[in-house]
């Protein structure tokens, strides 16, 4: 098909293409009941006038943390007007003003002016509204590590959790969501005294869980008969190997797009192969973008290494540049291997035969680190 034919093609394999969007809320949300129950237990006291509990929500990327929290928040607000629930993406909102602007928007229906209004007035309006209406506030801070990187975490947590001192009766709680499992967070003592969270863990999905989730998503997004079982199995296997459910959802959509471009009524092996080829470059770019500064620094050293890169020599170089410990180096290297940017191969050499060779899994000339 030509470009104009593709654009004007009026038959679609998608009955709801939005089912493959990152912010899509599936009607059936399975395999996270235990975690959602823990969240509900933390919030429930606020529904009867009590104090909600704080939580740290831990799990690798694409293990269902964000969807679970949004589902629970949706159920809370469906069943009570006593609790205000606010989800905030800390990659997008990294300042104290930005965080509380999102809370203000949820409560008053619009964002406050960016200039001319001091933070103290916005904060006061939020807390007075909670106090006057006898409501509790629960916020979810997704990718909270970004607040630490911008050095605003202590202020935001302090403002939220010690609000009751200036506004008696106000009840607040924070769900702090972490996808970077190596990130070590540390608050000052004024925050530690009020932020005593329970930990809610989201494990990786199993192969069978991934297959069931992708099948449900395909049923929601495609017309019947579009996705053969053997293609679904291949997508599920590739997703399981990558450890990221978003990869599988993107593959489903990409397969459908390639099939439509070929005026096919179903997805074939050729469409799957094309989707895999196009996905690899996108996935590498997104993975690189998600690395923190320490991970990027180590990866740059590996990219610039002249000759065979061995772990021992790399560790010495990294220590000299960053004054970091061997333990930190090993955690970072393991992370780069986990996200499939490098492979490590034992060479049988070294004092105990444990020397590792580091091999890049992507072409650094095609990407910006």
The reported pLDDT for the residue numbered 346 is 67
The reported pLDDT for the residue numbered 131 is 97
Q: State the Rg of the chain over Cα.
A: 24
The reported pLDDT for the residue numbered 353 is 40
Tell whether the torsion through CA atoms of 316, 146, 340 and 288 is positive or negative: negative
Q: What backbone phi and psi angles, to 5 degrees, belong to 303?
A: -60, -40
Contact 2, 249 (CB under 8 A): no
Q: Which domains does the chain have, with CATH numbers?
A: 3-14+205-283 (1.10.8.60), 33-202 (3.40.50.300), 291-366 (1.10.10.10)
The reported pLDDT for the residue numbered 350 is 52
The reported pLDDT for the residue numbered 232 is 98
Digit-coded pLDDT (tens) for 70-93: 999 999 999 999 999 999 999 889
Q: What backbone phi and psi angles, to 5 degrees, belong to 124?
A: -65, -40
- Paired tokens of 168: 């008696």
Contact 186, 151 (CB under 8 A): no
- Residues of the chain below pLDDT 70: 1-10, 181-184, 281-282, 346-354
User: What SS3 string covers the chain?
Assistant: CCHHHHHHCCCCCECCHHHHCCCCCCCCCCCCHHHHHHHHHHHHHHHCCCCCCCEEEEECCCCCHHHHHHHHHHHHHHHCCCEEEEEEECCCCCCHHHHHHHHHHHHHCCCCCCCCCCHHHHHHHHHHHHHHHCCEEEEEEECCHHHHHCCCHHHHHHHHHCHHHHCCCCEEEEEEEECCCCCCCCCCHHHHCCCCCEEEEECCCCHHHHHHHHHHHHHHHECCCCCCHHHHHHHHHHHHHHCCHHHHHHHHHHHHHHHHHCCCCCCCHHHHHHHHHHHHHHHHHHHHHHCCHHHHHHHHHHHHCCCCEEHHHHHHHHHHHHCCCHHHHHHHHHHHHHCCCEEEEECCCCCCCCCEEEEECCCHHHCCC
- Long-range contacts, 48-52 (Cβ 8 Å, 24+): 49/82, 49/134, 50/171, 51/136, 51/171, 51/173, 52/83, 52/136, 52/138, 52/171, 52/172, 52/173
The reported pLDDT for the residue numbered 352 is 43
What residues contact residue 127 under an 8 Å CB cut-off, 6+ apart? Answer: 163, 166, 167, 170
């Amino acid at each position: 098909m030509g470009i104009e034919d593709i654009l004007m093609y009026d038959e679609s394999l998608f009955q709801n293409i939005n089912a493959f969007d990152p912010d899509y809320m599936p009607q059936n949300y399975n395999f996270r009941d235990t975690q959602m129950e823990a969240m509900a237990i933390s919030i429930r006291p606020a529904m009867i006038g009590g104090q909600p509990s704080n939580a740290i929500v831990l799990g690798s990327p694409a293990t269902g943390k964000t969807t679970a929290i949004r589902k629970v928040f949706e159920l809370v607000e469906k069943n009570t007007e006593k609790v205000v629930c606010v989800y905030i993406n800390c990659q997008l909102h990294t300042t104290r003003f930005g965080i509380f602007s999102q809370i203000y928007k949820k409560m008053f229906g619009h964002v406050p002016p960016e200039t001319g209004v001091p933070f103290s007035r916005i904060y006061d309006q939020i807390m007075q509204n909670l106090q006057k209406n006898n409501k509790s506030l629960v916020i979810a801070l997704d990718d909270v590590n970004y607040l630490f990187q911008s050095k605003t975490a202590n202020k935001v947590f302090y403002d939220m959790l010690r609000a009751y001192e200036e506004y008696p009766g106000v009840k607040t709680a924070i769900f702090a969501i972490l996808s970077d499992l190596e990130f070590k967070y540390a608050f000052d003592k004024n925050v530690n005294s009020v932020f005593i969270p329970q930990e809610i863990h989201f494990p990786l999905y199993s192969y069978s869980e991934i297959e069931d989730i992708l099948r449900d998503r395909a049923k929601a997004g495609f017309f019947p008969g579009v996705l053969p079982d053997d293609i679904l199995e291949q997508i599920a296997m590739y997703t399981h190997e990558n450890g990221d459910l978003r990869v599988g959802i993107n593959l489903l959509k990409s397969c459908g797009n390639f099939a439509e471009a070929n005026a096919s009524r179903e997805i074939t092996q050729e469409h799957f192969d094309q989707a895999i080829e196009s996905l690899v470059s996108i996935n590498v770019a997104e993975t690189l973008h998600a690395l923190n500064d320490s991970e990027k620094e180590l990866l740059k050293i590996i990219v610039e290494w002249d000759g065979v890169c061995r772990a021992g020599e790399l560790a010495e170089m990294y220590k000299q540049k960053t004054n970091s410990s061997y333990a930190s180096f090993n955690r970072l290297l393991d992370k780069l291997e986990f996200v499939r940017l490098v492979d490590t191969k034992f060479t049988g050499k070294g004092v105990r035969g444990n020397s590792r060779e580091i091999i890049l899994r992507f072409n650094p000339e095609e990407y910006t680190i």
